[in-house]
Amino acid sequence: MASSALAQAQAPAGEKAVCIAGGAMTAQQFMNARLVDEVQIHMVSKLLGDRLRLFEHGVPLNLERTRVLESPDVTHLRFRVLK
């Protein structure tokens, strides 16, 4: 399902990057299919949604942190997926 959704998004994007947004379940589908080059996580101090853990039920990813932006309300983390 993730590869089909990615193919549909890439068709009109051509050579441009495609971003996938969603919750933990969506991210897990793409990460488990090894279709992710970069992961951005935005952490807030409130519990939202169904509280799924992003990395709990997936294939192990080798991540390299490339950016951290902090504020009192949110922390933005960016990682590159090492192949």
Domain that holds residue 32: 2-82
Element housing 55 (H / E): none
User: Residue 58 has what pLDDT?
Assistant: 79
**Span 21-75, pLDDT tens digits:** 888 888 889 999 999 999 999 988 776 666 778 888 778 899 999 999 999 999 9
- Specify the CATH number for the domain of residue 48: 3.40.430.10
User: Residue 48 has what pLDDT?
Assistant: 65
Threshold 0.85, pTM exceeds: no
Q: Would you say 63 and 80 are in contact if contact means Cβ atoms under 8 Å apart?
A: yes
- Choose the most confident range, by mean pLDDT, from 1-5, 6-10, 20-24, 70-74: 70-74
Total number of domains in the chain: 1
User: Residue 77 has what pLDDT?
Assistant: 96
| Single-letter amino acid code for the residue at 38 | E
